[in-house]
Amino acid sequence: MAYISAYAPKRATILQVAKDAGVSKTSVSRYLGEGRRLLSEPMQKRIAQSIERLNFKPDRIASSLRGRRTRLIGMVVTDITTPYTVQIMRSIENAFYQRGYTLVVCNTDSDPELEANHLQVLQSYNVEGIILHTSSGLGDTLGSLQRDHAPMVLIDRTIEGAELPCISLDNAQAMALGIEHVRQQGFHHLLYITQPLGGFSSREARARAFDDQLQHQHTLSGEQLELSDENAEATLIEALTRLLEQHHAPCVMCSNAKVALKTLRVLDKIEGIGKTGFITFDEEAWSPLVAGGITTIAQPADQIGERAATTLYRQLHEASPAAQSYSFPATLHIRRSTQTGAGEHTVTRQRASVAQGK
């Protein structure tokens, strides 16, 4: 059960390089870091050669210990399986890579306990900062955080009671964009299907925006459906069937791609595609292809990621950590699924007539 060292031929150390070059450790260390410009030309050359000859690579772990900078950033995410999330990850990883940082990503599968654990582990590696997409709506996270945790930036979801900057979509604007489009297309009733709010600020913001904004609509009525994971299909069948029966010119709006997928499968099953309008949050690669093309409210994932990264980076490097929350506007991708006949909406009976869109 003993541990077998993997590094058989041990890497060269700074000391060996120093000896080889006939200089001091300090000079080598200087050469590696900021202080290089302090060194004389010949010295630089000798060190460079030794480094080359010994194939020396600095050990960041040792460097971190003494230097107090790990150049590690932690990211905790609820669901690495969501393309939107992945896109944010990607842009954050990229932004930090440029700046010499390495991103450590942990997946919580929406489990607050796992989230707490991951947060602990990240701290134990002395990550310099953390980007968190929290899976605990009600601030459980705060308790599990060390009093003196690394600087942190939230994405999408705020944490109650914490004064942490949050970068997210402008949910009110996004909802307005969607509703306005639906209205313009002449739909008369809008069913908003969302995952259970569960205390998540983003879900709540959208739901609230939906209610608020429908108050001011005259030609458009609306209702919400909270779709939990259990019984999702049965619930949807019931709700969508009723929608089709009871409403003239109905439209469905989904709170994200996951919900959209479930909804579309049920719509497909009950032959409801084309009989109702359809719009959803999240633009994905398959959006143009499903049901002849679905209209989407796209989240600017790259911008959110980029901004989260720079916000965090500033916290690390600026004296006054004037951390700012920020929300970005959504974009509308209009496709067949919200297209209606000229002005007047037509309930289409045959699927063929809603056939393939662009």
Partner DNA sequence: TTGTAAGCGTTATCAT
Partner DNA sequence: ATGATAACGCTTACAA
Q: For DNA, give the closer residue by CB, 15 or 322.
A: 15
Taking CA atoms, 358 is separated from 275, 289, 300, in Å, by 19, 8, 22
Q: Summarize as ranges the residues that interact with DNA (CB under 7 A).
A: 10, 13-15, 22-27, 29-30, 32-33, 38-40, 42-43, 56, 58-59, 62-63, 65-68
- Tokens describing residue 282: 């999240």
Q: Which does 271 bind (CB under 5 to 8 A by kind): DNA, a copy of itself, none?
A: a copy of itself
Q: Which does 40 bind (CB under 5 to 8 A by kind): a copy of itself, DNA, none?
A: DNA
Quote the distance between the C-alpha of residue 287 and its chain's center.
19
Q: Which does 120 bind (CB under 5 to 8 A by kind): a copy of itself, DNA, none?
A: a copy of itself
CA distance 142 to 150: 13
Near a copy of itself by CB under 8 A: residue from 32, 39, 86, 162: 86
Q: Does 290 bind a copy of itself (CB under 8 A)?
A: yes
Query: What pairs with residue 221 in β-bridges?
Result: 189
Q: Minimum distance between the CB of residue 45 and DNA, rounded to whole angstroms?
A: 10
Query: What is the DSSP secondary-structure string of 145-159?
Result: S-TTPPPEEEES---
Q: Does 89 bind a copy of itself (CB under 8 A)?
A: yes
Near a copy of itself by CB under 8 A: residue from 142, 316, 332, 347: 316
Q: Which does 289 bind (CB under 5 to 8 A by kind): DNA, a copy of itself, none?
A: a copy of itself
Q: Which does 27 bind (CB under 5 to 8 A by kind): a copy of itself, DNA, none?
A: DNA
Contacts of 77 (CB under 8 A, 6+ apart): 85, 89, 105, 106, 107, 108, 133
Q: For DNA, give the closer residue by CB, 124 or 320.
A: 124
x/- track of binding to a copy of itself for residues 149-168 (CB under 8 A): -xx-----------------
Closest to 297 (Cα-Cα) out of 188, 187, 186, 210: 210
Q: Which does 43 bind (CB under 5 to 8 A by kind): a copy of itself, DNA, none?
A: DNA
Beta-strand (E) ranges in 78-128?
Answer: 102-107
- 8 Å CB contact between 144 and 116: yes
Q: For DNA, give the closer residue by CB, 67 or 321.
A: 67
CA distance 3 to 1: 6
x/- track of binding to a copy of itself for residues 267-286 (CB under 8 A): -xx-x-x----------xxx
Q: For a copy of itself, give the closer residue by CB, 66 or 218.
A: 66
Q: Is 126 helix (H, G, I), strand (E, B) or coil?
A: coil
Q: For a copy of itself, give the closer residue by CB, 251 or 267.
A: 267
Taking CA atoms, 345 is separated from 101, 172, 182, 357, in Å, by 53, 26, 11, 18
- The label of the residue with tokens 């459980």 reads 140
Q: Does 113 bind a copy of itself (CB under 8 A)?
A: no
DSSP annotation of 100 reads T
Return the number of other C-beta atoms located less than 10 Å from residue 145's C-beta.
19
Q: Minimum distance between the CB of residue 103 and a copy of itself, rounded to whole angstroms?
A: 8
Q: For a copy of itself, give the closer residue by CB, 171 or 195.
A: 195
